[in-house]
Amino acid sequence: MEAWVRLADGTQSVVAAGRNIGRADPKTRSIIEAIMQGVRNGVEYQPLIVVQAEDGSLILVEGYARATAYAAVAVSEPIDLFVGFSPNIHRWYWY
């Protein structure tokens, strides 16, 4: 997770991470690029897992590589999400 936050310029933005794939370590870049190719070829991946905070924002919990790949290829179709809710998500270390 820390490496992904660095890739996202210190944020949790998948859009920022998608712009910075070239700065990723070789293993991470390889994984994301493989997912990007799969997306371009129509592969359907498991839903991302997010938690909705009390303010309505969605916090990505699982699927950082997939989300980054989706952002990098600018997916225009809806992306499947598995959404939970937690009034305590703000206590999560990565919130």
Percent of the chain with pLDDT over 90: 49
Q: Which tokens belong to 53? A: 């905070």
The structure's pTM equals 0.84
Percent of the chain with pLDDT over 70: 97
Residues of the chain with pLDDT under 50: none
Phi and psi angles of residue 92, each rounded to the nearest 5 degrees, phi first = -65, 140
